[in-house]
């Protein structure tokens, strides 16, 4: 470089049109818009995945419905047996004279 040449400065004549400050700001705004849209889309996908997982869990429980009903039947028979035993003990206690 000779002493008469000028070094390009920020925003000066040596910059390309896309490097002007107003263009940089426009690009930044566009990038922010793109990132915001991508985040919104990602949030929607996450909600859909969560809903699919919830539905899969429901389907798994429905598939196990027969097992749940079998367990419920066993439990109800245990409740019935408990009450029958309690009634027997109450009746036996009522038949015995008080000391």
* Per-residue confidence band for 15, with pLDDT thresholds at 50, 70 and 90: low
Whether residue 24 is predicted with pLDDT greater than 70 in this model: the reply is: yes
Start-to-end CA span in the chain (Å) = 123
Cite the DSSP H helix spans in 1-99. 21-63, 65-95
* Residue 15 burial (C-beta neighbours within 10 Å; 0-12, 13-18, 19+): middle
9: DSSP letter: -
Q: Which pLDDT score, from 0 to 100, does residue 69 have?
A: 83
pLDDT tens, 87-99?
Answer: 999 998 877 766 5
Q: Which pLDDT score, from 0 to 100, does residue 7 have?
A: 47
Q: Are 20 and 11 spatial neighbours (Cβ–Cβ below 8 Å)? A: yes
Whether residue 16 is predicted with pLDDT greater than 90 in this model: the reply is: no
């Amino acid at each position: 470089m000779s002493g008469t040449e000028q070094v390009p400065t920020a925003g000066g004549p040596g910059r390309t049109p896309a490097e002007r400050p107003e263009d940089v700001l426009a690009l930044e705004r566009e990038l922010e818009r793109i990132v915001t849209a991508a985040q919104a889309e990602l949030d929607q996908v996450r909600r859909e995945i969560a809903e699919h997982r919830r539905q899969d869990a429901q389907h798994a429980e429905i598939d196990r419905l027969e097992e749940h009903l079998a367990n419920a039947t066993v439990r109800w028979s245990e409740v019935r047996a408990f009450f029958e035993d309690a009634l027997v003990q109450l009746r036996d206690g009522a038949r015995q004279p008080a000391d």
